[in-house]
Structure formats: structure tokens, C-alpha cells
Amino acid sequence: MSKISWALLAIFIVGFVLFIIGANIPMWGGTSVGSAATPPEAATIGYAGVYMFVGSIIVYLVIYIYKELTKPQVPPPPAQNP
């Protein structure tokens, strides 16, 4: 794997973890978990995770497609005369 692939994999994992953390942050000092108990920062952390998660997939696909389109074409072998 190239360095770009490793970096995108790391961003993918960090984005997933941030999304999970953002979805489960209870109110500071509270014990209940729910929509009324979550601070607005939790939504920011969660959305940042979603954007990193989805963004890493999109960037990987764009790089993969670009490499496939710019790959040199191999000419077919010459026909043999009987």
C-alpha cells in the first residue's frame, strides 16, 4: 500500500471513531444519554467524523479512477501469418 492509501485509511478510521464518539457524548457532568442531554459540540464532532469518513472514500475512488484512466495502453500483439 502506498503512503496515500495508508493516510486515507487512517482518516477513514479516525472519522468513524469521531462519528461514534459524537453520537454518544452525554451532557457534561450528566449520566443520561439522549437528544436533550447531548451538547451541541457532540453534533459538531459527529459531523466532522462523517465528513472525514465519506471524504476519505471519495478521495480514494478519485485517485483510483485517475490512475486507471492514465495507465499506459498496452498494444495488442501483432498477428501472425500462417
CA distance 1 to 54: 20
**Across 1-16, average pLDDT:** 91
CA distance 61 to 81: 43
17-72, pLDDT tens digit by residue? Answer: 888 888 776 545 555 555 555 667 777 888 899 999 999 999 999 999 999 999 88
Looking at per-residue pLDDT, the higher value among 65 and 76 belongs to 65
Sketch the domain layout of the chain as residue ranges: 3-69
Cell 443520561 locates to 32
pLDDT in the model for residue 19: 87
